Structure 1
Amino acid sequence: MERFAREVVIVTGAGRGIGLAIAQRFMDEGAYVAIADNQAEVLEQAQNTLGHRERLLAMVCDVSSAQDAQRLAQQTLQRFGPVGVLVNNAGISPKHAGVKAPIAEMDEAEWRQVLDINLTGAFLCSQACLEQMKGRGFGRIVNIASQAGRTRTDIAGAHYAASKAGMMGLTRVLATEHGRDGITANAIAPGRIESAMAAAAGAAVNAAYLERIPVGRLGTPQDIAAAAAFLASREAGFISGATLDVNGGTFMI
């Protein structure tokens, strides 16, 4: 099924894990995809994994830089045409020997770095793509938030939880301000997903977390990719400002 045939998609933080799986899903469904990551080596590996170089643009990008965000949007426009789908996935969750820094001991520079990448990056990339979407009368913005932004967390630091809660607030404002432009904005709040970020917490932490998941397994990057593809589809045109929990039943409201 090629729901996104000839659609132009940007995925940030797409070098590995969830971002790479999302990019793969869109490519499998026929999209032209621009992937962005801040590590050139990781980006090269992602290109090799995705293939289809005629439908792929890879760019080293610091999403916390307004200049880089604008360059990403403009290079995508020049290569493929106006952006229709933006997936703000880039994010970090620093650990120290596998453990978060508590608020009382957190370095201000680390706090600012996480907010800059996770939240400001989503703002800047959305801002950079809005005019292209408005010009088409169509757009889909999907923000990858986190269960840590929805409820208490013992694993993620305060900076990560705050940034992901902020992404959900940003999502609601985007949806409110741009719904009449044909643009929807939604967030996905993943639970525990098999990824490098989860692995950084250690096997014991993940094993304990597994005991709390009603469906009896950790999530996969492909689970999040499927949700992103649905929210980006035209079938989801009446869903906007929502946060979709993809967590195996760990958090329910």
Structure 2
Amino acid sequence: MSSSAHPSRIALVTGGIGGLGTEICRQLATAGCRVIAVDLASRDERVAAFHAEVAGFDGAISFEAADVSDFDRCKQLVERIEQQYGSVDIVVNAAGITRDASLRKMTPQQWHELMHVNLDGVFNLCRNAIEGMLTRGFGRIVNISSVNGQTGQFGQTNYSAAKAGVHGFTMALARETARKGITVNTVSPGYCDTPMVAAVSPEIRAQIVAGIPVGRLGSPADIARAVAFLAADDAGYITGANLPVNGGYFMSF
């Protein structure tokens, strides 16, 4: 089964200028999509670096600034993209933050800030993109969860709750849209070679790798390939699924 996309598909990737988001943009562009990376405009250096990293795609990948935690901004974003590029066919919700603390030390602000981005952001974008998908009878939504949404993680009651909630959202929306040519799926990455993991001590990192059956951290490309597979036109019989990409770190039936 090929994982090609229709050559004129418009794909919107939130968190699109992060390490994982950039690689998702690349994979979708390679599959023939017109890709719009969505992220905060406040990271000027990172935006410039992103443009340099995707320069080889001849304008197939572009950047739009938006705060996914703001419903009205998401509405304006979708309207702007549909006016400028055409219909939003593929949505990848990859925007996410951490606000780690044990529950007894967690502040309401740490809880709410994380929920606004990691869970509200999924609602805000899907709610505004879904109408066009329903009208056209086609859509692919891929929501990025986490292995920690499946297993829980010390110091991450907020993050684990939000990421588990992402897949609950996925399953419910998949049922609502399955007869309309729209699929909704989740990808749950394990521990990947990202700045967040690189920041932990070498001893802790060695412990993490020791617990991964394949014996290495994941790469952004490992995750992005799974996203591109689920976003393809010919992946229409997979919906409401959670695809774990974690090197065997957590296995379930």
Scaled by the length of structure 1, what TM-score is found? 0.93
Gaps of 5+ in 1: 95-99
Q: Could you say which residue in structure 1 is the equivalent of 2:109?
A: 109
The count of residues paired between Structure 1 and Structure 2 equals 247
Q: Could you say which residue in structure 2 is the equivalent of 1:227?
A: 226
> Which sits farther off after the overlay, 69-78 or 112-121?
69-78
> Does the CA-based 8 Å contact 1:219-1:247 persist in structure 2?
yes
Over 6 Å off, 4+ runs: none
- 2: distance between equivalents of 1:193 and 1:44? 24
Q: Could you say which residue in structure 1 is the equivalent of 2:27?
A: 25
> Does the CA-based 8 Å contact 1:185-1:240 persist in structure 2?
yes
How far residue 79 of structure 1 moved from its aligned partner, in angstroms, is 1.8
1:181 maps to a residue whose letter is: K
1:197 maps to a residue whose letter is: M
> Does the CA-based 8 Å contact 1:36-1:43 persist in structure 2?
no
- 2: distance between equivalents of 1:4 and 1:17? 25
Matched, 1:69 2:71: no
- 1: distance between equivalents of 2:6 and 2:94? 19
**Inter-CA distance 176–2: structure 2 relative to 1 (3 Å threshold):** closer
> Does the CA-based 8 Å contact 1:88-1:122 persist in structure 2?
yes
The 5 A counterparts of 1:34-49 are 34-38=36-40, 39-41=42-44, 42-49=46-53
Equivalent position SS for 2:59: helix
2:21 maps to a residue whose letter is: G
Q: Could you say which residue in structure 2 is the equivalent of 1:240?
A: 239
Q: Could you say which residue in structure 2 is the equivalent of 1:82?
A: 87
- Of 8, 11, 14, the residue aligned with 1:12 is 14
Scaled by the length of structure 2, what TM-score is found? 0.93
> Does the CA-based 8 Å contact 2:5-2:231 persist in structure 1?
no
> Which sits farther off after the overlay, 201-210 or 215-224?
201-210
Equivalent position SS for 2:20: helix
- 2: distance between equivalents of 1:235 and 1:145? 23
2:47 maps to a residue whose letter is: L
- 2: distance between equivalents of 1:61 and 1:185? 22
- Of 55, 60, 64, the residue aligned with 1:59 is 64
- TM-align CA RMSD: 1.5
2:202 maps to a residue whose letter is: A
How far residue 4 of structure 1 moved from its aligned partner, in angstroms, is 4.1
Gaps of 5+ in 2: none
Deviations 1:83-108 (Å, cap 9, x if unpaired)? 110000000113xxxxx310000011
Equivalent position SS for 1:34: strand
